[in-house]
A and B are shown apart, each in its own frame.
Chain A
Amino acid sequence: MTTKIERIGAKIRQLVVEMSERSHSGETGSSLSISDILAVLYFKTLRINPKKPDDPNRDRFVLSKGHGAAALYAALALRGFFPLKTLLGHRMNGGALHGHPSKGAVPGVEVSTGALGHGLSIGVGIAYALKGTKSKVYVLIGDGECNEGSIWEAALSAGALCLPNIVAVVDDNRFQGFGASRENNPFDMAKQWSSFGWGVLRVDGHDARALEKAFARAAKATKPFVIIAKTVSGKGVPAVEGTLGAHYYVPDEKAVKAMKRV
């Protein structure tokens, strides 16, 4: 039996495919791979209130891999931050939503991102400012994004400062723009993070219960914590799942119909 969270994950995927088809734009695979992570974060883990998007006591979420914006917008709309019809303006002339998150475009987007390797440093700054409060900072980064040196500057800094209120999630979908992520980083990612002073947990990024448990454990950590979530690029679209092509996949009407049947 599917749970509510699993249904939300599927709904995010459906909305992402619709947005991509409408705007004929890609980066679909990297939005689909984070659908279940966002479902758990926005409907279970994050302490947020769509009616008070600037509540100082809220948890913060930073989508460092900004190209997953379609999934973020879908999650925010489903959670009630803005009407679902706003999604019609994703990457469309005169629409509200860029292909990468822009703070202020809609309520709920905490940080403008798009160039890779920026979000973790911003998250460290937010966490440093929120030291001693109940608020946590969650930063979602891509496995390919970890090629960026600035990610490791931020990881080193958070580790050295022993920040207990920052949780990174690596969307380990194993593909980046032009190849398999392992070609560029063939090493053990868990060891890389732990050597920078982070607590590490590996989890199936499409298993809602496992993700929920992982976030609960991360919340209790006394140092920075990273969840390496194994995901599937293009999740939910069998024709492209787990392929390099999923990254820039542009769905057609048939694919949209197929998603609705799920």
Chain B
Amino acid sequence: MRKDFVAQVLIEMERDPSIVFLTGDLGFNALEKIQERFPDRFLNVGIAEQHMVGMASGLALEGKKVIAYSIASFATMRPYEQIRNDVCYQNLDVKIIGTGGGYNYPTHGVTHHTVEDVAIMNVLPHMKVLCPAYAWEAREATKAMLRHTGPVYMRLGKSPCVAYEKNRKFTFVLGKGFVVRKGSNIVLVSTGNVLDVALETAELIERKSGLSLCVLSMPSLKPFDEKLLLAHVRKAKGIFTIEEHSTTGGLGSICASVLIAHGIEGKKFHAFGFPPESFLKDVGDRDYLLRRIGLESNQLVRSIMRYL
């Protein structure tokens, strides 16, 4: 996904000379092409995330469109006050890129796991929040992000994910979600690169129960495609959200509030994700960690069937 991001950034930087790329010392074996092609518009500001976001704001005040890049946990939490006060308060054209969101730095440990980023970015005025699921979404999200003027946070996953084809006329627009799998009895709503888990889960449930399952991919969490969600849940008997993020403040919370606000009642609902009761200290790769919090297709099938 990072490769797709970089490929699109190269296209956009070629097109728009106002784009400046800052990194907080991240990007070895990933950002070299940008550095080589645009040496005057690429800067490694060092391991100084607060300064990176402050500096990005200064550049944006002078009319630059600035990308500030680091690992998701460091890009969002260390400079949170700069993101709020310098970027959002002044509504500046700064794009915060958090790479390896969720459990994409699995064995690095809790400091590198990022399951709070969407929640804390979501509450900020002016901020848009993107969480693409796979290659095409990442490319298109990068393009949409850089053609938008104003603050955006984009979470990138590191692992390769499912590649659903661009079979219909998908156009990526901020605030738009996508139907990845058609169905009517149960709706699975997913964001980011657990989309493969959601699709596998849908397959298994459909095979097992004969119910028809709809899967929605929601790469844009703010603004959020309420219309798409509402259009698909009215007839469904169960709605389940799946995210590699805390169940507080992320996709699950967003969907729950949309459903309640629109009077959708009498449905089975559950938000699957990281339960924020304690830190996940288990050691293992991403699949292992996802299993520990129940984000594996067989586990999800069992849980969802219990709710039904």
Asked if A157 and B81 make an inter-chain contact with CB atoms under 8 angstroms apart, the answer reads no
Q: Mark A103-127, 1 if CB is under 8 A from B, else 0.
A: 1000000111111011011111111
Those of A111-167 within 8 Å (CB) of chain B: 111-115, 117-118, 120-130, 149-150, 153-154, 156-157, 160
Asked if A125 and B56 make an inter-chain contact with CB atoms under 8 angstroms apart, the answer reads yes
Q: Which of B58, B59, B64, B90 has the most CB of A within 10 A?
A: B58
Q: Report the Cα distance A114→B55, complex, angstroms.
A: 16
Is B45 an interface position by the 8 A CB rule?
yes
Residue of B whose beta carbon sits closest to that of A160: B46
Q: How far is the CB of B62 from chain A (nearest CB, A)?
A: 4
A157 with B48, Cβ < 8 A, contacts A114-B85, A118-B82 known: yes
A126 with B59, Cβ < 8 A, contacts A118-B54, A157-B45 known: yes
Partner of A118, one of B43, B66, B86: B86
A127 with B58, Cβ < 8 A, contacts A103-B90, A115-B81, A118-B85 known: yes
Chain A residues with Cβ below 8 Å from B53 are: 121
Asked if B57 and A125 make an inter-chain contact with CB atoms under 8 angstroms apart, the answer reads yes
Asked if B85 and A153 make an inter-chain contact with CB atoms under 8 angstroms apart, the answer reads no
A126 with B58, Cβ < 8 A, contacts A153-B51, A156-B48, A157-B48 known: yes
Q: Report the Cα distance A110→B61, complex, angstroms.
A: 9
Q: Report the Cα distance A219→B86, complex, angstroms.
A: 27
Asked if B55 and A157 make an inter-chain contact with CB atoms under 8 angstroms apart, the answer reads yes
Asked if A125 and B61 make an inter-chain contact with CB atoms under 8 angstroms apart, the answer reads yes
Residue of B whose beta carbon sits closest to that of A102: B89
Is B50 an interface position by the 8 A CB rule?
yes
Chain B residues with Cβ below 8 Å from A114 are: 85
Asked if A124 and B58 make an inter-chain contact with CB atoms under 8 angstroms apart, the answer reads yes
Asked if B61 and A122 make an inter-chain contact with CB atoms under 8 angstroms apart, the answer reads yes
Asked if A128 and B50 make an inter-chain contact with CB atoms under 8 angstroms apart, the answer reads no
Q: Report the Cα distance A113→B54, complex, angstroms.
A: 11
Is B276 an interface position by the 8 A CB rule?
no
A124 with B54, Cβ < 8 A, contacts A110-B61, A129-B59, A157-B48 known: yes
Asked if A121 and B90 make an inter-chain contact with CB atoms under 8 angstroms apart, the answer reads no
Is B284 an interface position by the 8 A CB rule?
no
Residues of chain A at interface, number, CB under 8 A: 27
The size bracket of the interface on B is 20 to 34
Is B39 an interface position by the 8 A CB rule?
no
Q: Is the interface of A mostly helix, strand, loop or mixed?
A: helix
Is B17 an interface position by the 8 A CB rule?
no
Asked if B61 and A154 make an inter-chain contact with CB atoms under 8 angstroms apart, the answer reads no
Is B223 an interface position by the 8 A CB rule?
no
Asked if B61 and A121 make an inter-chain contact with CB atoms under 8 angstroms apart, the answer reads no
Q: How many A-B residue pairs have CB under 8 A?
A: 87
Chain B residues with Cβ below 8 Å from A126 are: 58-59, 61-62
Asked if A128 and B51 make an inter-chain contact with CB atoms under 8 angstroms apart, the answer reads no
Asked if A125 and B50 make an inter-chain contact with CB atoms under 8 angstroms apart, the answer reads no
Q: How far is the CB of A61 from chain B (nearest CB, A)?
A: 12
Asked if B51 and A154 make an inter-chain contact with CB atoms under 8 angstroms apart, the answer reads yes
Is B160 an interface position by the 8 A CB rule?
no
Chain A residues with Cβ below 8 Å from B45 are: 157
Is B63 an interface position by the 8 A CB rule?
yes
Residue of A whose beta carbon sits closest to that of B57: A122
Q: Report the Cα distance A16→B63, complex, angstroms.
A: 33
Asked if A125 and B85 make an inter-chain contact with CB atoms under 8 angstroms apart, the answer reads no
Chain B residues with Cβ below 8 Å from A149 are: 50
Asked if B50 and A150 make an inter-chain contact with CB atoms under 8 angstroms apart, the answer reads yes
Q: Which of B20, B45, B53 has the most CB of A within 10 A?
A: B45
Asked if B85 and A128 make an inter-chain contact with CB atoms under 8 angstroms apart, the answer reads no
Q: How far is the CB of B176 from chain A (nearest CB, A)?
A: 31
Q: How far is the CB of A165 from chain B (nearest CB, A)?
A: 12
Residue of B whose beta carbon sits closest to that of A103: B90
Residue of A whose beta carbon sits closest to that of B81: A115
Q: Report the Cα distance A103→B81, complex, angstroms.
A: 17
Chain B residues with Cβ below 8 Å from A110 are: 61
Chain B residues with Cβ below 8 Å from A153 are: 46, 48, 50-51
Asked if B46 and A125 make an inter-chain contact with CB atoms under 8 angstroms apart, the answer reads no
Asked if A115 and B58 make an inter-chain contact with CB atoms under 8 angstroms apart, the answer reads no
Q: Report the Cα distance A160→B43, complex, angstroms.
A: 12
Q: Report the Cα distance A117→B58, complex, angstroms.
A: 14
Chain B residues with Cβ below 8 Å from A156 are: 46, 48
Asked if A157 and B46 make an inter-chain contact with CB atoms under 8 angstroms apart, the answer reads yes
Residue of B whose beta carbon sits closest to that of A155: B51
Minimum-distance CB pairs A-B, first 8: A125-B58, A121-B54, A129-B62, A153-B51, A125-B55, A153-B48, A122-B58, A126-B58
- What 16 new A-B contacts, CB under 8 Å, besides A125-B58, A156-B46, A157-B55? A112-B89, A112-B90, A118-B81, A118-B82, A120-B54, A121-B53, A121-B55, A121-B58, A122-B86, A125-B57, A129-B59, A129-B62, A150-B51, A150-B54, A153-B51, A154-B55
Q: Which residues does A use to contact B, with CB under 8 Å?
A: 103, 110-115, 117-118, 120-130, 149-150, 153-154, 156-157, 160
What are 28 A-B pairs at a CB distance below 8 A?
A112-B90, A115-B81, A121-B53, A121-B54, A121-B55, A122-B54, A122-B57, A122-B86, A123-B58, A125-B55, A125-B56, A125-B57, A125-B58, A125-B60, A126-B59, A126-B62, A127-B58, A129-B20, A129-B58, A129-B59, A150-B48, A153-B46, A153-B48, A153-B50, A154-B51, A154-B54, A156-B46, A156-B48
